Chains A and B, each alone.
Chain A
Amino acid sequence: MVTDFPYPRLGRHALDLMRLIREFESRLAGYAAAGLIRGSTHPGVGMEAVAVGVAIALRTDDTIASTHRGHAHCLAKGAEPGRLLAEIFGRSDGYCGGKGGSMHAGVAPHGILGTNGIVGASIGVATGAALAAQLRGQDNVSVAFFGDGAINQGIFHESLNLAAIWSLPVIYVCENNQYAQSAALRDMVANPDLTARANAYGIPTHAVDGMDVAAVYRAAASAVGRARTGQGPTLLVADTYRFLGHMVGDTEIYRDSAEVDRWRARDPIPRLTAELVERGLMGPDAVETVERAATQLVDQAEEFARRSAAPPVATAYLDVYQPDVHQEAR
């Protein structure tokens, strides 16, 4: 078990990442209102500590499979904000040339197997990536991010069982933000202790405070260590909250603002900031520096994405299949 968070080595990095994600995600509603984003966009404001705490426990060649609420996972795993935003704007410089958008952004060199429009799908994809690592004798691991809504899909149960019997190097990270769209977790499960599900499949599990990046990191690093050394899967259940609506445009009639305020008081960013200041790893004046850096990065990303051209229409027909493979057969 990893018992401590290496504040000197990773603290500031984690803070910078969380602040970047906060800034990036907070601007999306404005971009949508300005007509820069189409379709559905799901910001993860409030949930930064889960994405970051897990991602900084990973290597670049480890893989993640993400969800509809996946920008934070991508940024934490090393995606460039400009290219990610260009994808969300549907531009040619986006990671997927504008074909994917917010819900289908993948970044192969960073092991980001994609955000996903199908709730639960990440769980199966990550399980398969872990199987590949095992079959190829590689020591990389894979992570499935998914929500408290996804655990009621059959694929959650089927995948955990597979990973358990084959001892696959996969970490299942349930971001329990208490709601699946408008459905409160308490109405959708009879047993709110989600770790009980791992016990059912014989998988080690931890409940972690998802508003504390250090706690998430410790649990993730332990699980990664187990997976990398052939000890099989782990289920982490991170309690967290989305400060904004389910997607841009949500009026949030299913929850009251007092509840939102209670969770906002547990904001993971001031919490880590205070830890770093208290430990003398950061002066109080550095707080502003961190914020400015995040603002600047997202300003640059926005500039880049806005300038990026629309994708050429001919690209609509590319990559449905790999070209020229069956030439000889014809």
Chain B
Amino acid sequence: MTEHLAIWRALNAALRDALAADDRVFVMGEDLTKWATGGGIYGVTKRLADEFGTHRIRDTPISEEAIVAAGVGAAIQGCRPVVEIMYSDFSLLAMDPIVNQAAKTRYMFNGQFQVPLVIRSNGGSGIGKAAQHSQSLETLFAHIPGLEVVLPATPDDAYGLLRTAIQSPNPTIFLEHKALYNVRGPVRREPVPFGKARVACEGSDLTIVATQLMLHRALAVAARAAETGVYLEVIDPRTLYPLDLDTIARSVAKTRRLLIAHEAPRDFGFGAEIAASLTEQCWDHLDAAPVRVAGARTPIPYAEELEREVIPDEDDLVRAIAQLVPTSAGIRTSQS
């Protein structure tokens, strides 16, 4: 029987299984063992210290740069560190070890060293954490040659992608979404390969590429659209790098239309990268220019009314879909 777990528990299970399978794996970060959740800010390391000891589940001082840098060094020397950064916003304090060290070590030293480091953190908005605890920074990392970037949206992917991240010889930025930790679903406890997009919903009228919160919103809209005879194909790339353009291209060849939705600001976001690549690759198949639905060019404001305003909701998706698929005018908005 397949287990049903919340995302945070699926991640907890992946860490537990990885720690049990490979004694090179260790975890470090702030407030991992004694915080109110029983394990890290959102509970992901719950009870792991009881099972594996505090030498493998290590509480660190508030020293993001040092702990990521120590992760790089330990990884180079044969460990498999999983560093938790409490909020991805704080990974910005560790940009040197991430960008100048982890990402470049293999290349600069001509393959003599590898950096099998995982940096787990959470991004995303929606729960009033305001400007310095709500950013979606995935594009920043995806831009850096040498880094792998993972955006799990379901419990099964959370488990499987984290197992793959820990096994990967490359430095991996693993960005969970803080508003999705309690999303429940089946978990097979199998590794999920990087660079393989998941077709979350099949359809013929429009391809939507979306991650995390936007994926869940796109799926809700797709369900309503189907009631009106409009069939949306929703694709979750799951990893931004490596990026599975082939699956998206195959879909676009069928639907002839492309919409990309992400929570990070639209400008210079990964939506632009996907739109450009697909336009280059599928020009002859496209009936319309690709459309992006994404965050506003603002920091994330605190007040609920303002936070909702700057992040795309289902109605924003419905409007963008109407622009691309004229027959979709009948899709209900969330208010109707």
Contacts and interface: CB of A to CB of B under 8 A. Distances in A.
A38 interface: yes
Contacts of B130: 39, 100-101, 103-104, 117
Interface residues of A, number: 42
A98 to B, nearest CB: 4
Q: Which of B63, B66, B303 has the most CB of A within 10 A?
A: B303
Contacts of A150: 62
A193 to B, nearest CB: 16
Contacts of B305: 90, 98, 310-311, 313
B135 to A, nearest CB: 11
B127 A104 contact: no
A237 B63 CA distance: 20
B42 interface: no
B299 interface: yes
- Per DSSP, chain B at the interface is loop
Contact of B310 (A116, A149, A316): A316
B263 interface: no
Contact of A38 (B31, B66, B90, B302): B302
Interface stretch (A137-145, A181-189, A285-293): A181-189
B129 interface: yes
Interface string B293-314: 0001111011111100110000
Query: Which size bracket describes the interface of B in this complex?
Result: 35 or more
Given A251-B36, A313-B305, A313-B306, A100 B131 contact: yes
Interface in A271-330: 310-311, 313, 315-317, 320
B31 A183 contact: yes
Given A181-B31, A253-B36, A316 B63 contact: no
A117 B133 CA distance: 7
A90 B304 contact: yes
A152 interface: yes
B233 interface: no
- Per DSSP, chain A at the interface is loop
Contact of B36 (A189, A249, A320): A249
A152 B62 contact: yes
Contact of A99 (B35, B129, B303): B303
B244 interface: no
Contacts, number: 125
Given A181-B30, A183-B30, A40 B133 contact: yes
B298 A90 contact: no
Contact of B309 (A90, A100, A253, A316): A316
Contacts of B30: 180-181, 183
Contacts of B127: 38-39
B301 A254 contact: no
A82 interface: no
26 contacts: A39-B127, A39-B129, A40-B133, A90-B304, A98-B306, A99-B303, A99-B306, A101-B130, A117-B130, A117-B133, A149-B61, A150-B62, A153-B62, A180-B61, A181-B30, A183-B59, A183-B61, A187-B59, A249-B36, A250-B36, A252-B36, A311-B301, A316-B301, A317-B310, A320-B298, A320-B299
Interface of B: 30-31, 33-36, 38, 59, 61-66, 89-90, 93, 127-133, 296-299, 301-306, 309-310
List of 10 A-B pairs having minimum Cβ-Cβ separation, nearest first: A38-B128, A101-B302, A90-B303, A117-B132, A98-B303, A39-B128, A152-B61, A182-B34, A254-B34, A316-B306
Given A39-B127, A104-B132, A183-B31, 11 more contacts: A38-B127, A39-B128, A40-B129, A90-B302, A90-B303, A100-B130, A100-B302, A182-B33, A187-B59, A311-B306, A316-B309
